[in-house]
Structure 1
Amino acid sequence: MDVKIGIADVARELTVKTELAADEVVTTLASALDKGGLFELTDDKGRRVVVPAAKVAYVDLGAADERPVGFGAV
C-alpha cells in the first residue's frame, strides 16, 4: 500500500510503499501521537522512515496493492 505523509512546514510529502494494512498505519500514528513520540514506518524494502508525530499534517492511505497484470507480471 502507498502511504503519503504530509509534514508541517515542508513543501513535499513523503511517499512510503509498505506492506502494512491501513488500520495498522492508523494505529501506529495514533500511538505515536498519544506518546508524543516518533511516527515510524518500514517500507517494503526494509528501510525505516521516522517523522516526529507532532509534525504530521496528514496521512493519505492509498489502495492496497493488487496483483500486477500484463507483460510486467511475474
Structure 2
Amino acid sequence: MEIRIGITNSGRELSFESSQSTAEIEKLIADALDSGKSYFTVSDDKGKMYIVPTAGLAYVEIGSEETRRIGFVG
C-alpha cells in the first residue's frame, strides 16, 4: 500500500510503498503521538527504514491495499 507523509515547513512529502496493513500503520503513528515520542519509524517494501519526527508531522495519507488498474477506461 502507498503511504504519504507530509512534514511541516517542507515542500516535499515522504512517499513509499509498504507491506504493512493500514491498521498497523495507523496504530504505529497513533501510539507515537499519544505517548509523546519524538519520532516513529516505518519501513518500505525494499527494506529502507524511515525515521519521521512527530513534531513536524503535517499529515499521513494511507492508500488502499487494492492493486492499481492498468489500461484505459471506456
Q: TM-score range by the shorter chain?
A: 0.7 to 0.9
8 Å CA contact 1:36–1:54 kept in 2: the answer is no
Measured in 2, the distance between the counterparts of 1:67 and 1:51 equals 27
**Range with bigger deviation, 14-23 or 32-41:** 32-41
The equivalent residue for 1:34 is 34
**Identical columns (%):** 39
8 Å CA contact 1:6–1:58 kept in 2: the answer is yes
Amino acid across the alignment from 1:30: A
Cα–Cα, structure 1 residues 67 and 6, in superposed 2: closer, same or farther, change >3 Å? closer
Amino acid across the alignment from 1:2: E
Q: Which runs of 4+ in 1 moved over 3 A?
A: 67-70
Unaligned runs of 5+ in 2: none
**Range with bigger deviation, 59-68 or 6-15:** 59-68
The equivalent residue for 2:56 is 55
- Alpha-carbon RMSD across the aligned residues, in angstroms, is 1.9
Measured in 1, the distance between the counterparts of 2:16 and 2:66 equals 13
The equivalent residue for 1:24 is 24
Taking structure 1 as the reference length, the TM-score comes to: 0.81
Amino acid across the alignment from 1:54: A
Cα–Cα, structure 1 residues 68 and 53, in superposed 2: closer, same or farther, change >3 Å? same
Q: What count of residue pairs does the alignment treat as equivalent? A: 70
Is 1:11–2:46 an aligned residue pair?
Answer: no
